[in-house]
Amino acid sequence: MKNNYVDVLIVGSGVAGLYCALNLRNDLDIMVVSKDKLDCTNTYLAQGGISVARNKDDVPFFVEDTLKAGQYKNDLQAVKVLTRESIENVDYLVSLGLDVDKDEDGNWDYTKEGAHCVNRIVHTQDNTGENVAKTLIKNALSRNNIRISEDTFLVDIIEKNNKCIGGILLKDDEQINVFAKCVILACGGIGGLYKNSTSQRILRGDGLAVALRHDVELKDINYIQIHPTAFYDESDDERRFLISESVRGEGGKLYNINGERFIDELLPRDVVSKAIFKEMKKTNSNYVYLDVSFLDSDYLKNRFSTIYNKCLEKGTDITKKPIKVSPAQHYFMGGIKVNLDSETSMENLYAVGETACTGIHGANRLASNSLLEGLVFSKRAANVINNKIDNLNLSKIDIDEIYKSREEIEENNRCLVIQAIREKGGVIDD
């Protein structure tokens, strides 16, 4: 067993964790850990893009689109913060090296996704998340004050008098107790708990389990988003491959197996998912069709190169045939309750990204608002920490050696999270 001391411990290497690290002061000693490889995140999988207000005038419309998609269950203040601070954060991400697609005049090529009233999604073809991840990883690796540790599992946080003073980690079966002035949970969502999900399998709500063990407040944990269009593949037991919202945004049409249209494709995700389930039931089918084959094939191959190649690998040439799709778990709107500065109910413990619940999504996330939330609210956490950390001291307590295996801890986490979600009426399979 080893003890380690840092200023800030960040658990998670997705957009929220790494962007937070990059916004913390250069003179702070920061440790970022991920339970798998650095790029094994849902951030890496994001296809569609990042929503951003077109300009100041667009902010009220962006607010309204977010509220409407969220069935007005959103936190209005948080939505205002998200939309107002969207431009400066996407600008900063671009300044870090993200090369977003541009139109012929060199302006950002904004695309449209369901329930946005205007085109306001910036993207890099259909692999925005991969490029966001690569940009953040490159910048983080170049910073001397950021230590990164892959394959390092957070077992628990360390608590003293309702203050968070560090985290207990497992790496190569060795226990490392990291004492930190602040801890940031950026552990992503819960999709790995579902058989049928678009998420990385490793993301199983570990952050929530830690919060539950320490009575840290949670919020809206019954709000789980089902994405309408994941690739349907009978033989596939793996993660479901997502057919991004932007495919419908660029004109893709849904048909039931009898070739009948049944829904406006650009309605919010929950509405489209429900309509698909209904149609599947009505036609006694496990899927419906999403068709883009009527669009120009060169355009499709370029604009949706990831989707084109993946579908081809799975036997569907999207330039020639409709894609079989069905809904799958996709996103967790609830999470660890945080205020506008990403502070949890425990002192010196922060939560950012999909692990956190800022309340911006309400009951249903508006497309492409998640990467943006990861940027805006992790930057706010960093700002608060930058200002207050000089007044904090490192604390230490004696910690027992943990003899449990990582598998055993993950199983405990899984049971704890499933039970909590069920108790709140959320739908989750076992």
Ligand X SMILES: Cc1cc2nc3c(=O)[nH]c(=O)nc-3n(C[C@H](O)[C@H](O)[C@H](O)COP(=O)(O)OP(=O)(O)OC[C@H]3O[C@@H](n4cnc5c(N)ncnc54)[C@H](O)[C@@H]3O)c2cc1C
User: In degrees, to the nearest 5, what angle opens at C-alpha 282 toward C-alphas 427 and 314?
Assistant: 75
Q: At what angle do helices 76-84 and 59-69 cross, to 10 degrees?
A: 140
Active-site residue (options: 204, 248, 269, 303): 269
Which of positions 217-276 make contact with ligand X (CB under 6 A)? 242
Our finding on whether 374 is near ligand X (CB under 6 A) is yes
Task: Name the DSSP letter for residue 333.
Answer: -
Under the binding rule (CB under 6 A), the answer on residue 41 touching ligand X is yes
Q: Minimum CB separation from ligand X for residue 34, in Å?
A: 4
List the one residue from 316, 368, 379, 417 that touches ligand X (CB under 6 A). 368
Q: Binding to ligand X by residue 307, rule CB under 6 A? A: no
**342 touching ligand X, by CB under 6 A:** no
Q: Which strand (E) or helix (H) includes residue 83?
A: helix 76-84
Q: Specify the DSSP class assigned to residue 258.
A: T
Q: Which of 28, 350, 340, 26 lies closest to 187, judged by CA?
A: 350
Within residues 43-62, the interface with ligand X by CB under 6 A covers 43, 45-50
- Cα–Cα distance, 303 to 123 (Å, whole number): 10
Q: Are 424 and 221 in contact (CB under 8 A)?
A: yes
Is 148 a binding residue for ligand X by CB under 6 A? The answer is no
143 is annotated as an active-site residue: no
What does the alpha-carbon distance between residue 246 and residue 104 come to, in Å, rounded to a whole number?
Answer: 20
Q: How far apart are CA 45 and CA 60, in angstroms?
A: 29
Q: How far is the CB of 133 from ligand X (least distance, A)?
A: 8
Taking residues 73 to 92 in sequence order and writing x for each that binds ligand X by CB under 6 A, - otherwise, the string is --------------------
Verify binding: residue 331, ligand X, rule CB under 6 A.
yes
Q: Considering CB under 6 A, how many residues would be counted as binding ligand X?
A: 41
Closest residue (Cβ) to ligand X? 14
Element housing 68 (H / E): helix 59-69
Of residues 9, 31, 33, 148, which one binds ligand X by CB under 6 A?
33
Closest approach, Cβ 49 to ligand X, in A, equals 5
Strand order, beta sheet including 288-291: 224-231, 323-332, 288-291, 253-255
Active-site residue set: 269
Binding residues (CB under 6 A) for ligand X: these are: 11-17, 33-36, 41-43, 45-50, 128-129, 153-154, 186-188, 198-199, 203, 206, 242, 331, 353-355, 368-371, 374
